[in-house]
Structures are given as C-alpha cells and as structure tokens.
C-alpha cells in the first residue's frame, strides 16, 4: 500500500470509529483547559480529571489562582506527579496572564509557549481545542502510531508533527490528533500492538512479519 493510500485509509477508518472525538480533559474555558493540559504531562487524562474539580473549586481563573498558596496547589495536584514543578508553574503563569494579558489566555502559540510549564505540545492543544485553530499536537502515543503506520521516520515528535501536517489536510488536524489518541488507547497501545495486531497496522502492512520497534520521542 502506497503512503497516499495509507493516509486515505487511516483518515477514513478513524472518521468511521470516532466521527466526533470529545476532548478528554474536563474544562470550561481556555484557562481551565490550559491548566488541565499542563497537569497531563506524564499523567493520564483520567487522573487529571479526578484532580481538577478540587483545584478549580479553589480557583478557576488566574486572578483567584494567584491568591492560592503554592503549597495548597501542590497538595491538590500531588496525584498528577511532578507536583512541585507544576504547582509553581500554575501559580506563576496565572500571574503572568494577569500582568501581560489582562488575565486572558492568549490566542497565540508563541505567547503560550512563553508561559512556565507550557511547551509546544501543550500550547498546540490549547490552540486546537480551546480556540479551534489548526494545530497538530503530537505526544508519545501519536509519535508511536505514526511510526507503526509508516507516516514518519520516527526521529522525534518535532519531525513527526511536520510529517503529519504535510500528509493530512489542515481542516482535519484538530479532530485527527484526538482520533489517533483514542485509537491508540483502544486498539494500538504500546503493549497491545507491535505493528502486526490492530486493524490499521495489519491493513497498512499485511506482510509485516516481525514486531516493529518504534523509536522513542
């Protein structure tokens, strides 16, 4: 199967399985989404969704968050891991939003990436899911599947993002990155598929004989 054929098949199959993929992190506005995505680093979405109700009950906007002691934030978000760094980042970025952006999350990826604890992937998620701007956030799971499906050479997530953006139409990026995540969790997980098990892997590479060793991000 040629790469163009793989791309078309993957897109059609994912649209069949997940025609309207929901945003997995509970939130009510760009600020709460930003905080939830920040917390999701090296943590499951399920765990984040268990933690954020208590955090947002204490403060769900930057003005209120700045009045919450960092130790209090830390104690609430401890289950998410990396709590010392994340609690400081949440407090500091909230103050920056007030000082530099009138308390509003900027609809600008460069400005988002300048916030503490916010990398390119987090900023891309916010641009995509909060503001509806075309973006293709690539995490380790998308990176793994893109290699299994022959869509990238697998050097790193930066290269994978460039390759996926080049292969897929811009108007499908926002849904597609969620669709790949859901598919990876359900059918093509790190341990559940080695490139020879799930429907997409076996359709794209029916003659693959050996497990595919993917390169880590």
Q: Which of 4, 28, 71, 139 is catalytic?
A: 139
Q: 30, 97 in Cβ contact below 8 A?
A: no
Q: Is 60 a catalytic residue?
A: no
| Residue/partner pairs of 203-207 with CB below 8 Å, 24 or more apart | 203/1, 203/9, 203/13, 204/1, 204/6, 204/9, 204/10, 204/149, 204/150, 205/1, 205/150
Side-chain-side CA neighbours of 144 within 13 Å: the count stands at: 19
d(CA 208, CA 99): 55
Cα separation of 55 and 75, whole Å? 10
**Hey, CA dihedral for 76, 32, 65, 40, is it positive or negative?**
positive
Q: Which of 121, 155, 162, 165 is catalytic?
A: 121
Two tokens, residue 210 = 């050996």
Annotation says 3 is catalytic: no
Active-site positions read 121, 139
């Amino acid at each position: 199967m040629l790469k163009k054929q793989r791309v078309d098949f993957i897109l059609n199959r994912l649209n069949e399985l997940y025609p309207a993929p929901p945003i997995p992190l509970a939130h009510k506005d760009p600020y709460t989404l930003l905080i939830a995505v920040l917390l999701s680093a090296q943590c499951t979405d399920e765990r984040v969704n268990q933690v954020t109700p208590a955090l947002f009950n204490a403060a769900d906007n930057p003005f209120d968050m700045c009045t919450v002691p960092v130790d209090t934030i830390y104690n609430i978000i401890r289950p998410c891991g990396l709590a010392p760094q994340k609690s400081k980042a949440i407090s500091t970025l909230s103050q920056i939003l007030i000082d530099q952006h009138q308390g509003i999350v900027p609809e600008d990826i460069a400005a988002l990436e300048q916030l503490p604890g916010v990398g390119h992937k987090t900023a891309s998620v916010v641009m995509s899911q909060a503001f509806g701007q075309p973006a293709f956030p690539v995490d380790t799971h998308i990176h793994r599947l893109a290699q299994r499906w022959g869509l990238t050479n697998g050097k790193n997530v930066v290269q994978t993002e460039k390759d996926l953006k080049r292969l897929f139409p811009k108007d499908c990026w926002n849904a597609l990155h969620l669709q790949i995540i859901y598919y990876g969790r359900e059918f093509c997980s790190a341990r559940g598929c080695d490139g020879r098990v799930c429907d997409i892997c076996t359709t794209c590479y029916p003659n693959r004989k050996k497990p595919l060793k993917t390169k880590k991000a």
